[in-house]
Structure 1
């Protein structure tokens, strides 16, 4: 017999209200599944046996014992960290029996399957959006090139040298835009496929390197960058984390306010089993309805801004590949933004 079984008796308090139940007897399979011997549980209340403040499922079990009902349910029993299928029936007034199966393995497999299906649905939806967006954004420079080729043909026929040079420049610009888009798409596709050896490294050192790389851009925009205290060491793909910080700093500079020089603060804090890194700016801010959109592929809230609109999609993807996530907070237009990404605090051998 694979099922565990136990006999119980309801314990009533003043006014006839059920307060607990006593375990009268158990079978060998109970001992095997629960890990407690008969002498550990017989004659003891449920709260004593399972070391919980409230008797588990007291209302349901009392209803069965009082009204001679039968009852079956699946449950996660936290004290044992297991899933059970439990059948309950009354064999005597104010008494009930439980017969249960440990379904933890099946339940975890089911939950993993559901998680996989949801992830697959999400990836399919992302692929559909990706396909539409790529076809749309790559079509734009192609239309420009085709249009100016027609104008170039006409201008060459007229011998208009000035217009010919202008046409060629517009065609070259459109071709460059397409090249930038393709390069960024290639970089996005590499994330998760091409993984650099993860290692523990000082985040402060990496931030200094990003600032050095962007020194001319920082100087030109009169931006200032500071760190909030001493930054911790983090574990991951250093090259990819570098790209995340670089993208977020460039984003902060790009979307500065007209009436203030960019002020950028980079910090980190521990939260549970994760390190949360943030980049705070005093820029134009973001309306809450766009918090999710900004991380979408090619999503640009300001279509006239420089870049392809892939930077924040890269940030999000890199964070996810590391087992974390990326998000943004802002008090709205004119109040700056704070971009966050999380990295699990895990040891090298667990990465």
Structure 2
């Protein structure tokens, strides 16, 4: 705790407020202990203790003792002051430990914390009062327990709400709609409060029925004005109801005599909890909706940017690969020309260097050609139309006829392949790449067996190409679908490492996905799904 000017100023104002509250209660209620003045300042006391530290509790105790001295100067004033200080310490400690310092109007948990601490204060005050009765410091009263619970909880909650509203006062009536809705709703609630609590129309409206009208106005304020407008409406209603109880009018005309204002306390607590929860839930829903709309707009903009970026990259890859092929062909041609014209004048080592250069140019040309084909996927393709998968597989097998014969491979194709809407050339390429890989990566000393199957999986057709080749280690399942990724050297298996990445891009552009299962030394199964779009 730091003793500062602000601490001394706020502490002096708090002690003065206890004295004035005591005088007010004496003037209105006399000394019959119907309204205990410390309850009216529980909220400010907790608020200032949170701000300046626990030293405020000592000043609050002095204020309570001063107020009790002004009432009747009984010996119990010191006990009441000590009890009040202990309750204030416990309430502040719990409130601080549960994050009360950061409480706002934006969370249901904040309201639950506020009302939970309020109910705790009520029961704590009642417990200490019961102890006082047991040790003979004060006399028992039939209304005492309920009265103290309700009064203490009321005092904390009803005074904390306006102070929390003051934190966000800059947001009040910020919109043009609030400029007329705020005064209108609060004004109407005030007029009906006069009917409900101060007996306008001379009891022509039933007491019980009109007692619950105020809940409608508090709910309306919660939906249209938010937590701050709700707090103003509740505060006005609480003041009207208290005045009515003092003068024996309206809904609480006999509450002082019957319950020592306990009904009044519970009514205002219920009214405030209804308005507070409705306000925060409605406002939270609005905030979530706005956040969702903002996020949706951001995602749409991001998606548009990604589409433009992908289009630019594909265009770049297309142009770059197309333009690169011409100088590569020139390099390869001049290497061949150099070998033909001056081959007889070159030694064996020079011929070997020329072969390396020409081979490198050819491999580079193959890479560029594959990159060009990769960039064309989805950009340069035949239109989507119904195609028989059996015909596409047959075409892929026909293209690979020579390789199949050389490997003496057995290609088994199921007889119930479906008809789907797809790009004929691109799906044919998928089967051609998968069957070609099965032939290329066959196991030595074992006849290649390749099986093509199909089955329905919900809203998709699942196609599988299974082989009995060398298999793939599970560590490389994701890597092999990346562009230009190879698991073997060129000396052992030729190729550029782009075939499976082409398959992946084609399948995904058709709304499907591709994956594999494999066991090293036993074979692999490449599976992919395509949406069911039968002709």
Structure 1 Cα separation of the partners of residues 462 and 113 of structure 2: 49
Cα separation, partners in 2 of 1:110 and 1:219, compared to 1, 3 Å: same
Match of 1:313?
501
The alignment status of 1:227 with 2:413, answered yes or no, reads: yes
Which of the numbers 342, 346, 349 marks the counterpart of 2:529? Answer: 342
Check if 1:325 corresponds to 2:510.
no
Q: Against the structure 1 CA distance between its residues 325 and 172, is the aligned structure 2 distance closer, same or farther, given a 3 Å change threshold?
A: same
TM-score by length of 1: 0.59
Matched, 1:277 2:463: yes
Instruction: Identify, as 1 or 2, the structure richer in helix.
Output: 2
Which runs of structure 2 are paired with 1:245-284 in the superposition (5 Å)? 245-284=431-470
Per the TM alignment, residue 287 of structure 1 is displaced from its structure 2 partner at its CA by 1.4
User: Which residue of 1 is the match for residue 366 of structure 2?
Assistant: 180
Match of 1:110 among 287, 295, 299: 295
* TM-score (norm: length of structure 2): 0.41
Aligned to 1:9: none
Which residue of structure 1 aligns with residue 393 of structure 2? 207
C-alpha distance after superposition, 1:131-151 (max 9, x if no partner)? 9xx99xx9xxx9xx89xx8xx
C-alpha distance in structure 1 between counterparts of 2:489 and 2:343, whole Å: 35
SS of the equivalent of 1:282 reads coil
Structure 1 pair 220/317, CA: closer, same or farther in 2 (3 Å)?
same
Q: Which has the larger radius of gyration?
A: 2
Higher relative CO (CA 8 A, sep ≥ 6), structure 1 or 2? 1
Please, what is the CA RMSD of the aligned residues?
Answer: 4.3
CA contact (8 A) 1:247 1:311 kept: yes
The answer on whether the counterparts of 1:65 and 1:93 sit within 8 Å (CA) in structure 2 is no
CA distance in 1, matches of 2:433, 2:344: 46
Report how far residue 163 of structure 1 moved: 4.8
Q: CA deviation at 1:283?
A: 1.2
Could you say what secondary structure the match of 2:411 adopts?
strand
CA contact (8 A) 2:381 2:425 kept: no
Q: What per-residue deviation string (whole Å, max 9, x for no partner) do you get for residues 7-59 of structure 1?
A: xxxxxxxxxxxxxxxxxxxxxxxxxxxxxxxxxxxxxxxxxxxxxxxxxxxx9
Q: Distance in 2 between matches of 1:265 and 1:110?
A: 47
Using a 3 Å threshold, how does the CA distance of structure 1 residues 104 and 326 change in structure 2: closer, same or farther? farther
CA separation of 1:65 and 1:319: change in aligned 2, threshold 3 A:
farther
Residues 112, 291 of structure 1: alpha-carbon distance in 2 compared, 3 angstrom cutoff: farther
Structure 1 residues without counterparts, runs of 5 or longer: 1-58, 71-86
Trace 1:96-245 onto structure 2 (pairs within 5 A): 97=278, 98-99=281-282, 100-101=285-286, 107=292, 110-111=295-296, 113-114=298-299, 117=302, 120=306, 159-160=345-346, 162-245=348-431
Gaps of 5+ in 2: 1-107, 119-156, 162-225, 231-268
Give the number of the structure whose residues are more often strand, by fraction.
1
Q: Deviations over 1:162-217 (max 9, x none)?
A: 55544443332222111111111111111122232101111112111111221110
Query: How much does 1:328 deviate?
Result: 1.8
| Gap change, CA 1:107 and 1:271, over 3 Å in 2 | farther
Q: CA deviation at 1:271?
A: 2.3
Distance in structure 1 (CA, Å) of the matches to 2:301 and 2:526: 28
User: What is the distance in 2 between the residues matched to 1:158 and 1:230?
Assistant: 61
Report the count of equivalent residues: 258
- Which has the higher mean CA deviation after the structures are superposed, 253-262 or 97-106? 97-106
CA deviation digits over 1:205-231, x for unaligned, max 9? 211111122111001111111124411
In structure 2, relative to structure 1, the CA distance for the partners of 1:212 and 1:91 (3 Å cut) is farther
Q: CA deviation at 1:251?
A: 0.8
Cα distance between partner residues in 2 of 1:251 and 1:108: 47
Map 1:36-115 to 2 at 5 A: 67=116, 91-92=270-271, 97=278, 98-99=281-282, 100-101=285-286, 107=292, 110-111=295-296, 113-114=298-299
CA distance in structure 1 between the partners assigned to 2:496 and 2:528 by the alignment: 21
CA contact (8 A) 1:66 1:93 kept: no
Q: Report the equivalent of 1:50.
A: none
8 Å contact 2:343–2:351 — kept in the other structure? Answer: no
Question: Structure 1 residue 110: deviation in Å?
Answer: 2.3
Task: Tell me the SS of whatever aligns to 1:172.
Answer: helix
Q: Secondary structure at the match of 1:330?
A: strand
